[in-house]
Amino acid sequence: MPGEDAGAVLLVDAANVVGARPDGWWRDRAGATARLLARLAALPGRTVPAPAGGDPLRCAEVVAVVEGAARAVPAPDGVTVVRAPGSGDDALASVAARVAGEGRDLVVVTADRGLRARLPAGAAVTGPGWLYDVLPA
Q: Mind listing the domains of the chain with CATH numbers?
A: 8-134 (3.40.50)
For residue 92, the SS3 value is: helix
Q: Tell me 103's DSSP state.
A: T
For residue 95, the SS3 value is: helix
Under the banding of pLDDT at 50, 70 and 90, the label for residue 55 is confident
Distance of CA 92 to the CA centre of its chain: 9
Q: Is 90 exceeded by the pLDDT of residue 128?
A: yes
Give me the sign of the Cα torsion angle 43, 39, 37, 113: positive
What is residue 2's predicted lDDT score, i.e. its pLDDT?
42
Under the banding of pLDDT at 50, 70 and 90, the label for residue 91 is very high
Under the banding of pLDDT at 50, 70 and 90, the label for residue 28 is confident
